[in-house]
Structure formats: C-alpha cells, structure tokens
C-alpha cells in the first residue's frame, strides 16, 4: 500500500484516534518538513515495527524510548508502534524514506530490494553460532553492508538480533530435507530464501508477517520458518502441528533512521541517540537469546505442538543439500563484501 492510500484508509477506518490525528496531520503534505521543529519543541521519533511487544525488537524499541526520554529530559519522545499497527513490513521502508516515520528495524531480508547483499545473511547454515553472526555484522562485512545502505540515503544505526529460525508444519514432522517436499511455505522477500525452499521441493510464498497467522489457520500455507519469539508471540504454534528446532537460518535486524531527520537533529541529541542505540544493542542481543529460550519453554510446556530437534548428523544432510545455493549466490554479490563474510566459511562451502 502506498503512503497516500494509508492516508485515505485512516480517514475511514476507526483506528487509534491518536494515530489518525498524527497521520492526517501529514496527509496534506507529501513529506514532513523538519524545519518546522524548533530547538525548543519536543522531538518526536515514530518507530514502527511489525512484531509483538514481548519480542527482542519489541522490548528493545521500548527500552530505547524510555532511555531517550530520561536522557533528554523529555525533549525526545520515541513513539513505538508495534505489531504493524501503523505500517506493515511491506510499507514501512517507504514510509521511512518519505519521512512519515523516523525509525524502523526491518529484518535484513526486507532490505534486499535496496541492497541485495543483505541476503547473504539468509544463507542457511552460514555460521553455526550467534557469536559468529555478531563478528561478521560488527566487523568488515557489517560495515560494508551499512555503507551500501547509507549510499541509498538511509542512516544505519545498529544490527539487532532476533535468533536462529526454526521450521513449522501442518503436514508432518520435518527431520529430513525431503520432508519439505510439496509444502507451501511462507517466506520473507528474499531470493536466497526462495531458492532455499525451491531446492527442497517446497513452494515458497512471499507474505507479509502479519498475514501469516491467518494463512496458516486457513490452511493456505503448510508451514513457515521463523524464530521462536515470533512463533510464540504470533501464536503460530497453535495453528501448526509440528515444530523442528533446525537453527537453519538467522533472523537479524538493521535499525534505520530517516536521513533528513537525523541530519537535522541538534548535535547533542544526536550524540545521546547514538550512544543510547549502542547501549541498547548490547542489551538487546542478551535479552534476545533469553526471550527465545524462555518462550521455547512455554511452547514445550503447552504441549500443543510436536517438537523435533535436528541432530548433528541431520544438520550435515541439510547442509549438503544447500551447497549448490552457496555456489550460485556468492557470485551474485560484491566480491569484497563476500570475502569479508569470512574466508573459511566461504571456502568450506564453495570447495567441500
Ligand atoms: C518476518 O517477516 O517473519 C520477520 O521479519 C518479522 C520480524 O520483524 O521479526
């Protein structure tokens, strides 16, 4: 949906009154004029995201809001809109670029149209631990990626974690790659993810995050891949019969700010913002792991889904199937960036 369409929708749909007021105030204009914000006025940062409050991103966004309020004496107000209540995952990037909102933290996959290299982090079994993902994202590969995003006119602020992704199904337990054959599976928009499931004989379907629950419930999808916190908070485990702890892929976020807004922030506010984001990022990565572990415990305790855990020899079989994916994909991206992903991982995958 275009931003203009969103404006129309908010005129006719009973929605949160405050939201409608905020949005309608901007409907007459095509972009928000930050010159109107004087030094004395409150600075409003609208931070839109699509996941639940009780997720790593949901909690970190709220913590960031609370710290910014405290550290700027209330001058900066970060308004967090969770669950896609303001914009869906397919709308939020455009809304950010046009200045209707000031912050988002999309999954890396959702930036693939802008910078295809983000899809490297969709490669199944790229690294085996979160520490290795952090090393890549905090190192040369992450810096290069951020540079590419920056050249597209956005301000990359931090990489946040969710966790490793797991598989769910309504058809049968998934242990072998061949168990995915014929399944209709929801994916985020990413060529790597599409090829990943096509290689398994499944049918990948791109779908907005907030439409997945209904599609699973109605049987329009047979399965999906996501982290435990997204599965638990969106109740996918209640409309699926089988969960496989596969840890086959990584779901991480890039926190982004509108460039024009960022550049016009007073220097002292910008400094507080950058320091606060840095601090929240360290915190977020710790709680992300805890939240996912805790919510896996809740899923196990509810006894409402059959759980399969891949053994290390199962994982080797899946890794073998995906080898050709590495060969085709790694040649698609900037070679300097690919090298920065870590030679040993790459060589191992290219020359088994
Ligand atoms: C998804 O679409 O599955 C995720 O990107 C949602 C999110 O933001 O974690």
The structural domains of the chain, ordered by start, are 1-30 (no CATH), 31-350 (3.40.190.170)
Check if the beta carbon of residue 338 is closer than 8 Å to that of residue 120. Answer: yes
Q: What's the gap in Å between 186 CA and the centre of ligand 1? A: 11
- What is the predicted pLDDT for the residue at 5? 45
Q: What's the gap in Å between 61 CA and the centre of ligand 1? A: 15
**Ligand 1 nearest-atom number relative to CA 50:** 8
Q: What's the gap in Å between 40 CA and the centre of ligand 1? A: 37
Closest CA to 107 of 218, 21, 230, 216: 230
pTM of the model: 0.88
**Ligand 1 nearest-atom number relative to CA 109:** 5
Residue with tokens 């995003």: 149
Q: What's the gap in Å between 44 CA and the centre of ligand 1? A: 25
5 is written with which tokens? 């369409």
Probe ligand 1: pick from 107, 193, 295, max atoms within 8 Å of CB?
A: 107
Probe ligand 1: pick from 230, 254, 288, max atoms within 8 Å of CB?
A: 230
d(CA 282, CA 305): 33
State pLDDT tens for residues 110-148: 999 999 999 999 999 999 999 999 999 999 999 999 999
d(CA 225, CA 328): 22
- Closest CA to ligand 1's atom 5: 107
List of residues 6+ apart from 250 with CB closer than 8 A: 121, 122, 126, 127, 130, 133, 163, 164, 165
- Closest CA to ligand 1's atom 1: 209
State pLDDT tens for residues 317-330: 999 999 999 988 99
**Ligand 1 nearest-atom number relative to CA 186:** 3
Probe ligand 1: pick from 209, 213, 249, max atoms within 8 Å of CB?
A: 209
Pocket of ligand 1 (CB under 6 A): 50-51, 89, 107, 162, 188, 209, 226, 230, 251
- What is the predicted pLDDT for the residue at 41? 77
- What is the predicted pLDDT for the residue at 23? 40
Probe ligand 1: pick from 226, 229, 231, 235, max atoms within 8 Å of CB?
A: 226
**Ligand 1 nearest-atom number relative to CA 224:** 3
Q: What's the gap in Å between 209 CA and the centre of ligand 1? A: 6
Check if the beta carbon of residue 253 is closer than 8 Å to that of residue 142. Answer: no
Q: Which residues of the chain have pLDDT under 50?
A: 1-37, 351-352
**Ligand 1 nearest-atom number relative to CA 209:** 2
């Amino acid at each position: 949906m275009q931003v203009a369409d969103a404006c129309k929708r908010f005129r006719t749909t009973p929605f949160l009154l405050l939201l409608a007021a905020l949005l309608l105030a901007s409907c007459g204009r095509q972009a928000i004029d930050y010159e109107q914000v004087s030094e004395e006025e409150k600075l409003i940062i609208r931070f839109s995201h699509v996941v639940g409050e009780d997720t790593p991103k949901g909690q970190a966004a709220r913590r960031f809001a609370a710290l910014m309020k405290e550290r700027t004496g209330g001058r900066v107000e970060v308004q967090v809109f969770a669950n896609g209540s303001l914009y869906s995952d397919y709308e939020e990037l455009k809304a950010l670029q046009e200045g209707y909102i000031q912050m988002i933290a999309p999954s890396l996959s959702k930036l693939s149209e802008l910078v295809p290299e983000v899809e490297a982090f969709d490669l199944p079994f790229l690294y085996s631990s979160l520490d290795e993902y952090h090393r890549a994202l905090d190192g040369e590969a992450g810096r290069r990626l951020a540079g590419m995003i920056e050249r597209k006119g956005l301000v990359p602020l931090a990489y946040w974690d969710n966790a490793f992704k797991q598989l769910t199904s309504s058809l049968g337990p998934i242990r072998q790659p061949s168990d995915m054959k014929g399944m209709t599976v929801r994916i985020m928009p990413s060529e790597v993810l599409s090829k990943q499931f096509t290689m398994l004989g499944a049918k990948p379907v791109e779908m907005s995050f907030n439409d997945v629950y209904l599609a699973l419930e109605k049987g329009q999808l047979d399965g999906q891949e996501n982290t435990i916190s997204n599965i638990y908070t969106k109740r996918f485990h209640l409309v699926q019969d089988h969960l496989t702890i596969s840890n086959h892929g990584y779901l991480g976020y890039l926190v982004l700010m509108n460039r024009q807004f960022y550049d016009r922030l007073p220097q002292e506010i910008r400094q507080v913002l950058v320091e606060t984001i840095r601090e929240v990022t360290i915190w977020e990565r710790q709680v992300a792991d805890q939240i996912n572990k805790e919510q896996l415990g809740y899923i196990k305790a509810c006894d409402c889904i059959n759980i399969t855990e891949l053994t290390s020899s199962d994982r080797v079989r899946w890794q073998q199937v995906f080898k050709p994916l590495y060969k085709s994909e790694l040649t698609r991206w900037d070679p300097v960036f690919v090298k920065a992903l870590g030679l040993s991982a790459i060589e191992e995958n290219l020359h088994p």
